[in-house]
A and B are shown apart, each in its own frame.
Chain A
Amino acid sequence: MLVEFALYHAWLVPLLPALAFGVIVFLTRPWPKLSAIVAVGSMAVACFFATLAAYGVFTNHEFVEKPLVYATRWFSLGLPGMPEVQIDVGVQLDPTSAMMLFMVSFIATFIFLYSIGYMEGDPGFSVFFSYLSLFGASMLLLVISSNLLQMFVAWGLVGLCSYLLIGFYSHKISAREAAKKAFVTCRVADFGLLLGLLALQIVFGTLNLTELSEKIAHFEEYTTFGMLTLIAVLVFIGPIGKSGQFPLHVWLPDAMEGPTPVSALIHAATMVVAGVYLVGRTLFLFHEVPSAMQLVAVTGGFTALFAATIAITQREIKRILAYSTVSQLGYMMLALGVGSLTASMFHLWTHAFFKALMFLGAGSVLHALHHKADVWEMGGLYKKMPITTWTFVIGGLAIAGIPPFAGFWSKDEILVATLSEGHYVLFAVGAFTAFLTAFYMWRMIFLAFFGEEKPENHPHESPWTMTVPLVVLAVGALGAGWVGTPWHNVWAEWIFFGHPHHGPVNYGAMLLSIVLAAAGIYLAYMLYLKDAKKKRARRLAEWFGPVYRMLYNKYYIDELYLWFNHALVDGTARLMYLFDIYVVDGIVNGIGGFAKLSGDGLRVFQSGRLQNYALIFFLGVLAVAVLMAFTGPSAASLVLGGVK
């Protein structure tokens, strides 16, 4: 009964946090505690409904083939009977969206809870929770959208929340600039996505997901140019920005300027995977276009490796995690690119748990160390912060891909999918990235939590509101992958594209990934913990000087963009402005000046002297007289205007 209600009222899930946003902004803002209760409470209720809805979906196999869709008209143009454009808003529930609905609301609930402790005493406490609630609402709306435009709206709103939350410490110039960068970068990507949506609307006349998937399946290309290819590429530009794929990943590391719960929720677990989710939702489109699939896979694989190499050299704890997020998102894209929705969504699911966990852990550390972010300045935290440390270690094991932690199963699934589709190069890239991931993650863990204690630090364990979410997420990081083991893959039975995929268990790949992960951890152990005194790491960095510097400076991509932005865009702008004031306005003022000049010219006759006027008057009389004398009176009367 209740399940039924939740299934058919799934729009309540985003609506509740949206209401919380309104309530906090207009009513409870002066009372921080109350605001927090409203936000967490509404999210918890939303999570409850989401769980029920997800339960309803995952107990009924009909929804796999035929998603539950209910929608209403948002607006339409043209004749009421046969509109030229009709956009619906509605809910589309299928296993993928139900999974996301549950995951987002679940993680959001705990991160909201965590924020109560983390944001304690901040002057913008209520505002923070209002933003968080708005974000929750938008993200949940995005997840259940049945229409691409509706999704785009939610997509824009999560971008807005991301902007507001990154720039939450708005008095810091770095935060302000990071927020702006995030928004503008995503805006560039949204431009592509918007074009893609427009093309879809124009070609297929609808943006409803279900209708589109049917129409595209029966779409035959008549042109050689390939409308579908174009559309697919355009649509993919959106996820490139939102999910931090190369080359639009630059905003994501900077986004760590926001409070840590924000990084955990938005920039690790939920919003950044929206791009992956979108590609997953529109996989019917990409599936028709092999070259677009290729693009997705290559972009994903490259991003995974690229970000991992940068992460090796970074020093700030959240920055390392950010590059790791970029890298993991690359994995998800890679999985989509090779056509495996199963593997991609699986990784998305497990990643949400362990990455949120690690960010919250990092937040706990920062909270304890008063926002000292450099891992080299930490060390030995495990003694004072046991819960944080051990949950963080679980996260580290999960992301490195050590069985039976969650990350192992999903990463293995991706690698196997890549291999089985015959992408050997991408497989190699993925495998190497797995090694790098294990290495840089454990580098960070060894440096921050183990090793020698630094006397100037006075860490302490965080309050229960912060540790409870850590423990819950650690359980998730441990067990979330068990639903998709190769031996009994429940996950693949529910979430797939086309038909469920059941390959044989690939022990070779599994073994390889375990070995690589272990090797990475061991290497990190050797370099940073066991022989830390020998300063091998420093010497290594010196040997590879230019490479190290290039990695440390993130391949100078930020500088390139900065140059592009300042020199080209601003330069053109200034040029245009000068053009405007000197040429366009010059012409306008020139016309005005011409009028003034001719006035000045005629002023000579307006001397103000009586006799001068008399002279001119007589000249006029003479002219009329001459006219009459030499042309006759009729012509003169014509000139004089009908004087008879």
Chain B
Amino acid sequence: MEFPILLTILLAPVAAALILAFVPKEEHMLIKCVAAVGTFVSLALSLFAYFTYDKTVGGLQFVFGHNVTWIKDLGVTFFLAADGISLPMLLLTNLIGFSAVFASWNVNNRPREFFILLMLLITGVMGTFIAHDLFIFLLFYEVVVIPIYILVIIWGSSKRVTKEYAGMKLTIYLLIGSAFLLVGVIALFVKTTALAGTPDMSFTGLAQAAAQLSRFDQIWLFALMLFGFGSLVSMWPFHSWSPDGYAGAPTAVSMIHAGVLKKIGGYGLVKIAVYMLPVGASFWAPYMAVLGVCGVAYAALGALAQKDLKYIVGYSSVSHMGYVILAVACLDVIGLNGAVANMFAHGVMAALFFSMIGFIYEKTHTRWIPDLGGLARQTPRLAAGFMLAALASLGLPGLVSFIPEFTIFISSFHNYGGLAVIGIAGIIITALYVLRAGANTLFGPPRPEYDHLQDIRGPEMVPLVVLGTVLVVGGLLPSLLFDVINSSVVPLHAAISDALQIGGKF
């Protein structure tokens, strides 16, 4: 039996959390180091997994526990596996998780509890990406929600809305979404079990059985899943938790939430909803495209009207997720590739953005743009990180988000024409608000009250270095990202188009 790499990746933060539980609560430095080591082990292993993934073979690799029966009557197995869609997401989670630990280096209010919860959060997110069993997927998803709530209401900050409101809104929204999802999953399970005879909760098993579902069943099941995953990925008009939630959350949570948690929605949409219910997907695709474009344009304009940095990034992430929805709605190889890659790119960029905003807030105690200005002189490295994230956000060619957006544009322009043009026009507005925020925060005359500020240094540099490297390398060598994704999107798309042909559409 080969080394269970996925399980090790999954359990490293748990182990760190367990150790943390026994560390004295005054040992702040030790606590942070343990958390950093835990996430670093995961990061290193997931990098290893990412680069040893056999792209020529594709499909599921690093399979673990597909024969470990967990609940026999429901056909649940502890099935962990990674393919070209989940690997980038896993890597993203670990990149951001590792950076988030360092972005929270200055948390001195009950750090032990903070880092334990953070570790659990990271574990939950990773679990959703490597679970190949729908039940396990949902289980890990629910694991995620609770730490988020606690983290927001204890370590969050109150601005336009109180942190209690933000945490409540975030949690309830996600739970409502997952409730609809759960109904969809249960209905899918019941129907497929009736069709297949034996219960099977694994993705592949469900997809095979679901192929025999009637068109009507596929359509309403997909609608439930679309609502569930859609509110998770902040699809317009189910997005309003996102800006408020990010604004209220502490830096690390904003990073993980905007960076990866949101992507669970997009990931589920691709790997669960579309994969299992292609006929339903093709029915809903035009509506999804419209919602996606609405999200892009609407949230971009919304971001333009903001004066709080976190709100800007919050709306911006809604806008970027609009592209993902649009791409998924294309239902072709290019679009699906673009959707997954854009999730990766946006994750890295949003995490960097939030970590930099977190540092700005930590140092100046404000995120209100009119109170800021000229920070480029006082904190040049911070400014460089901020600008890097800002430029990636507006899709600057040469940074990681450009090629994913380009592929999305190709596919959506091809499939939806004029509608896509409105979406693509979002890049102009994005440039406008991102540059405005950057200019008003970093440039202009330096303010004397910030003269004493210290630039980021030491551990605080880690998010910038790690995420910045990914931004640049991913932008210069997009094939690193796309070859992996493509190796799994192609078979997935083949399965979908087969199903669509049998379904009589196309």
Contacts of A211 in B (CB 8 A): none
**B428 contacts A187, CB within 8 Å?**
yes
- Shortest Cβ distance from B172 into A: residue: A592
**B306 contacts A176, CB within 8 Å?**
no
Q: A170-B444, A194-B424, A592-B172 are in contact. Are A75 and B409 (CB under 8 A)?
A: no
Q: Report the minimal beta-carbon distance from A222 to chain B, rounded to whole angstroms.
A: 17
Of A408-416, A484-492, A554-562, A569-577, the one touching chain B: A569-577
Q: Report the minimal beta-carbon distance from B255 to chain A, rounded to whole angstroms.
A: 23
Q: Report the minimal beta-carbon distance from B296 to chain A, rounded to whole angstroms.
A: 12
Report the count of interface residues on B (CB-CB < 8 A).
59
Interface code B306-323, partner A: CB below 8 Å = 1, 0 otherwise? 100000000000000000
Q: A157-B397, A569-B432, A576-B302 are in contact. Are A585 and B490 (CB under 8 A)?
A: no
**A176 contacts B333, CB within 8 Å?**
no
**B398 contacts A153, CB within 8 Å?**
yes
**B169 contacts A156, CB within 8 Å?**
no
Q: Report the minimal beta-carbon distance from A22 to chain B, rounded to whole angstroms.
A: 10
What is the bound-complex CA distance between A172 and B479, given in angstroms? 41
**A576 contacts B298, CB within 8 Å?**
yes
**A152 contacts B305, CB within 8 Å?**
no
**A180 contacts B397, CB within 8 Å?**
no
B41 beta carbon closer than 8 Å to chain A: no
Of A76-84, A391-399, A475-483, the one touching chain B: A76-84
**B444 contacts A77, CB within 8 Å?**
no
Q: Is the interface of B mostly helix, strand, loop or mixed?
A: helix
- Shortest Cβ distance from B493 into A: residue: A78
Q: Report the minimal beta-carbon distance from A1 to chain B, rounded to whole angstroms.
A: 31
Report the count of interface residues on A (CB-CB < 8 A).
54
Contacts of B337 in A (CB 8 A): 77
Q: Is the interface of A mostly helix, strand, loop or mixed?
A: helix
Q: A77-B334, A184-B428 are in contact. Are A171 and B413 (CB under 8 A)?
A: no
What is the bound-complex CA distance between A74 and B376, given in angstroms? 34
**A180 contacts B304, CB within 8 Å?**
no
Q: A160-B391, A179-B439, A585-B240 are in contact. Are A570 and B407 (CB under 8 A)?
A: no
A368 beta carbon closer than 8 Å to chain B: no
**A78 contacts B333, CB within 8 Å?**
yes
- Shortest Cβ distance from A177 into B: residue: B439
**A580 contacts B302, CB within 8 Å?**
yes
Contacts of A569 in B (CB 8 A): 301, 304, 429, 432
Interface code A63-103, partner B: CB below 8 Å = 1, 0 otherwise? 00000000001111111100011000000000000000000
Interface code B427-439, partner A: CB below 8 Å = 1, 0 otherwise? 1110110011001
B486 beta carbon closer than 8 Å to chain A: yes
**A73 contacts B413, CB within 8 Å?**
no
Contacts of A587 in B (CB 8 A): 237
What is the bound-complex CA distance between A272 and B71, given in angstroms? 66
What is the bound-complex CA distance between A140 and B435, given in angstroms? 26
Specify which of A77, A153, A191 lies most central, judged by the most chain B CB atoms within 10 Å of its CB.
Answer: A77
Q: Which residues of A approach B to under 8 Å, CB–CB?
A: 73-80, 84-85, 149, 152-157, 160, 163, 167, 170-173, 175-177, 179-180, 183-184, 187-188, 190-191, 194-195, 198-199, 201-202, 569-570, 572-574, 576-577, 580, 584-585, 587-588, 592
Q: What are some 21 contacts across the A-B interface (CB < 8 A)?
A: A73-B479, A78-B334, A78-B486, A85-B410, A152-B397, A156-B398, A160-B398, A170-B442, A170-B443, A171-B445, A184-B435, A187-B432, A570-B304, A576-B301, A576-B302, A576-B305, A577-B306, A584-B237, A584-B240, A585-B240, A585-B244
Which 7 interchain pairs have the tightest Cβ spacing? A156-B397, A577-B305, A573-B304, A153-B397, A170-B443, A75-B479, A576-B301
Q: Which residues of B approach A to under 8 Å, CB–CB?
A: 56, 169, 172-173, 237, 239-241, 244, 298, 301-306, 332-334, 337, 374, 376-377, 391, 394, 396-398, 402-403, 406-407, 409-410, 413-414, 421, 424-425, 427-429, 431-432, 435-436, 439, 442-446, 478-479, 482-483, 486, 489-490
Given contacts A84-B333, A160-B391, A577-B306, 10 further A-B contacts (CB under 8 A): A74-B478, A171-B374, A171-B445, A172-B445, A202-B413, A569-B304, A570-B305, A573-B302, A577-B301, A585-B240
